[in-house]
Chain A
């Protein structure tokens, strides 16, 4: 597992950084989003000047955003520099950690939920040995128990479902 991760990391770092013009993808995403809001806004109804409809504001902002994202796309396509190298491993691990918390906290309780979240989040970090991950998880989950349930009194179940 650890060797695999290290290799994955190395491969990622040796790869050529992406071109900045990929930034245009961001603009394209915003353009797509603005179209969703413009179309959806029209369906909801734009109303009249006196009584602006439910869809009026989404349509107005959608149009402005569409124009702006076209400008952004044009500018990004002309950019010739290198972009930031994405870190998809951390991207996935952090996402997974949040998902683990969401799936566990209501079912098995805050303490085991926080424990598993810590383990998941630290999975891609080869610098922390497995035992270290377990100790960190135990420490964090117990500290959260003491702090949030004991001291602050948030209505969470430490163990078990709600």
Chain B
């Protein structure tokens, strides 16, 4: 009841004309920036930060939040159209979104992604409105052991994300974990595998890995495919409204994805990426349409988008109530609040309840605005695919270069992108997939950090992972998942062998008959 009154007040705040305007500016800018490869919500927020100094705190927060989730929408557009994830969490969207676009179904993919994002955003908002204090408590119960267990679960889920050879998927996850150690070891300050290059001290920026492996690697593949006209002509760019069957197919995945997303979003740091990976992996296990995952299934677009957008909303919970930013963008939100003398923390809900509820209500309005903004644009985006690839790919290369260069204003990052781009192409030749690698790369440093911290705090007692209740349960789930995956892989293999044996038997029979 109290929450309902709060939300009502928040709605009044959010509906004030100037807040409405800033919300619109925020989501518009966010979508626009999110579409540009490499330029994510970070760049967009730092761009408007100086402007927010002149605004009321609520307006500023509403606008910054709009940019943040708007960019998440925009990121999926680049994933679907160009196979370039703007954010690590939208790398999962590439897996089914890009095949759909190549299939001439870009419009439906974009529409599905918009609807799923909307659904996820709204559910995330509802979760935030009802459960914010509770979820803050939950995050407070998460120490290093629990984080380690969550990340482990995310990684096991990520290896299931691969749509080719599962062994290669796991191999890529582990390779990502290993390469994630490059840079200064945050626990001791020692340099690891930096080859003495100062720019390598902070490790390789995620955007560089994503741009290289996905963007550049894909581009090299597509140039020839497009020259041959492999996918260009059959785009039905007027058709973007899903059929009734597709609506029905998306409904449950959106709900499941949002649920998983809302939960993980509340855990600072791991949030969106783990959420979309876990949601995709779960969906791949339970979906009636699981066979077509990875080949352009609409559910495969809907699930990660619902998950990462709901996680984007609930990510505000730890940021506002604990003052713990889960990402660089969230650190900016805290920075902006500090400018107004508002210290994020448990008292924010009480002392600045109008700000909190105004923000929550603005999520509702922002998501509606995004939907209104995006649906008419789908036709336009799809038309982009009509532009001959010989004009498109040099343009995309320049966009990637600028996006990467803008990270630190350092050309070294462009050289690294070149290296990762070539690696990405070679990976495709050797039939390895970049998505599991990227997830391993994101989560590896966090996993190592939490593992070492947990061991330090427990003073070398490794059993804490099992004896602390939350982490014990999470580890158990992980083990069950892993056992199930291995068992089903073995079963599939045995079946294949039986079939082969049966075949050769019949062959033997028929030859003997002939003889």
Touching in the complex, A and B, CB below 8 A? yes
The interface of chain A, by Cβ under 8 A from chain B, is: 22-23, 25-27, 29-30, 33-34, 36-37, 40, 44, 48-58, 61-62, 64-65, 68-69, 71-72, 75-76, 83-84, 86-87, 90-91, 94-95, 97-99, 101-103, 105-106, 110, 114, 117-119, 121-122, 124-125, 127-128, 136-137, 140-141, 144, 148, 152-156, 162
Q: Which of B177-191 touch A at CB < 8 Å?
A: 177-179, 181, 185, 187-188, 190
Q: Mark B358-401, 1 if CB is under 8 A from A, else 0.
A: 00000000000000000000000000000000110111011111
In the complex, whether B444 has a CB less than 8 A from a CB of chain A is yes
A residues near B391, Cβ cutoff 8 Å: 128, 136
CB of A106 within 8 A of CB of B411, answer: yes
CB of A117 within 8 A of CB of B398, answer: yes
Cβ-closest chain B residue relative to A154: B406
CB of A64 within 8 A of CB of B174, answer: yes
Given B190, B216, B427, which contacts A94 in the complex, CB threshold below 8 Å? B216
List 19 A-B residue pairs with CB atoms under 8 Å apart, sorted by A's residue number. Answer: A23-B430, A26-B427, A29-B426, A33-B178, A34-B178, A44-B185, A49-B455, A57-B448, A62-B178, A65-B175, A69-B171, A72-B167, A98-B397, A101-B411, A118-B398, A140-B398, A152-B39, A154-B43, A156-B406
CB of A105 within 8 A of CB of B167, answer: no
CB of A102 within 8 A of CB of B414, answer: yes
Of the listed residues B398, B401, B406, B432, the one surrounded by the most CB atoms of chain A closer than 10 A to its CB is: B398
B residues near A101, Cβ cutoff 8 Å: 397-398, 401, 405, 411, 414
Please report the C-alpha to C-alpha distance between residue A40 and residue B427 in the assembled complex, in whole angstroms.
24
Shortest Cβ gap from B115 to chain A (Å) = 29
CB of A58 within 8 A of CB of B397, answer: no
The interface of chain B, by Cβ under 8 A from chain A, is: 33, 39, 43, 47, 165, 167-168, 170-171, 174-175, 177-179, 181, 185, 187-188, 190, 192-193, 216, 219-221, 223-224, 227, 390-391, 393-395, 397-402, 405-406, 409, 411, 414-415, 417-418, 421-422, 425-432, 444, 448, 451-452, 455-456, 459-460, 462
B residues near A152, Cβ cutoff 8 Å: 33, 39, 43, 47
A residues near B178, Cβ cutoff 8 Å: 33-34, 37, 58, 61-62, 65
CB of B193 within 8 A of CB of A49, answer: no
B residues near A87, Cβ cutoff 8 Å: 220-221, 223-224
Cβ-closest chain A residue relative to B185: A54
B residues near A84, Cβ cutoff 8 Å: 428-429, 431
Cβ-closest chain A residue relative to B432: A26
Of the listed residues A71, A98, A152, the one surrounded by the most CB atoms of chain B closer than 10 A to its CB is: A98
Please report the C-alpha to C-alpha distance between residue A102 and residue B454 in the assembled complex, in whole angstroms.
42
Given B219, B223, B421, B456, which contacts A51 in the complex, CB threshold below 8 Å? B456
Shortest Cβ gap from B256 to chain A (Å) = 30
CB of A49 within 8 A of CB of B462, answer: yes
CB of B174 within 8 A of CB of A49, answer: no
With A54-B187, A98-B216, A98-B401 already in contact, the answer to whether A30 and B175 are too (CB < 8 A) is yes
Cβ-closest chain B residue relative to A153: B47
CB of A127 within 8 A of CB of B390, answer: yes
A residues near B175, Cβ cutoff 8 Å: 30, 33, 65
Shortest Cβ gap from A35 to chain B (Å) = 11
Majority-rule SS of A interface residues: helix
A residues near B224, Cβ cutoff 8 Å: 87, 90
Given A58-B178, A127-B390, A156-B409, 6 further pairs, Cβ under 8 A: A51-B455, A51-B456, A54-B185, A84-B429, A94-B219, A110-B402
Given A50, A61, A122, which contacts B455 in the complex, CB threshold below 8 Å? A50
Of the listed residues A26, A102, A154, the one surrounded by the most CB atoms of chain B closer than 10 A to its CB is: A102
The 9 A-B residue pairs whose C-beta atoms are closest, nearest first, are: A26-B430, A50-B460, A102-B414, A61-B178, A121-B394, A101-B401, A98-B418, A118-B394, A90-B223
B residues near A40, Cβ cutoff 8 Å: 192-193
Please report the C-alpha to C-alpha distance between residue A94 and residue B426 in the assembled complex, in whole angstroms.
14
Shortest Cβ gap from B381 to chain A (Å) = 17
Majority-rule SS of B interface residues: helix
Given B393, B425, B456, which contacts A91 in the complex, CB threshold below 8 Å? B425
B residues near A25, Cβ cutoff 8 Å: 430
Shortest Cβ gap from A80 to chain B (Å) = 14
Given B167, B400, B427, B444, which contacts A71 in the complex, CB threshold below 8 Å? B167
A residues near B427, Cβ cutoff 8 Å: 26
A residues near B190, Cβ cutoff 8 Å: 44, 54
Shortest Cβ gap from B225 to chain A (Å) = 9
Shortest Cβ gap from A28 to chain B (Å) = 10
Please report the C-alpha to C-alpha distance between residue A29 and residue B322 in the assembled complex, in whole angstroms.
44
Cβ-closest chain A residue relative to B426: A26
Please report the C-alpha to C-alpha distance between residue A148 and residue B47 in the assembled complex, in whole angstroms.
11
Shortest Cβ gap from B454 to chain A (Å) = 10
Cβ-closest chain A residue relative to B178: A61
A residues near B393, Cβ cutoff 8 Å: 121-122
Shortest Cβ gap from B159 to chain A (Å) = 10
CB of A95 within 8 A of CB of B421, answer: yes
Shortest Cβ gap from A48 to chain B (Å) = 7
CB of B394 within 8 A of CB of A91, answer: no
A residues near B185, Cβ cutoff 8 Å: 44, 54
Please report the C-alpha to C-alpha distance between residue A105 and residue B401 in the assembled complex, in whole angstroms.
10
Of the listed residues A30, A34, A61, A124, the one surrounded by the most CB atoms of chain B closer than 10 A to its CB is: A61
CB of A94 within 8 A of CB of B220, answer: yes
Shortest Cβ gap from A26 to chain B (Å) = 3
Please report the C-alpha to C-alpha distance between residue A87 and residue B426 in the assembled complex, in whole angstroms.
10
Given B165, B187, B414, which contacts A98 in the complex, CB threshold below 8 Å? B414
Of the listed residues A26, A34, A110, the one surrounded by the most CB atoms of chain B closer than 10 A to its CB is: A26
CB of A57 within 8 A of CB of B451, answer: yes
CB of A54 within 8 A of CB of B192, answer: yes
Cβ-closest chain A residue relative to B448: A57
CB of A61 within 8 A of CB of B444, answer: yes
Given B192, B397, B432, B451, which contacts A117 in the complex, CB threshold below 8 Å? B397
Shortest Cβ gap from A159 to chain B (Å) = 15
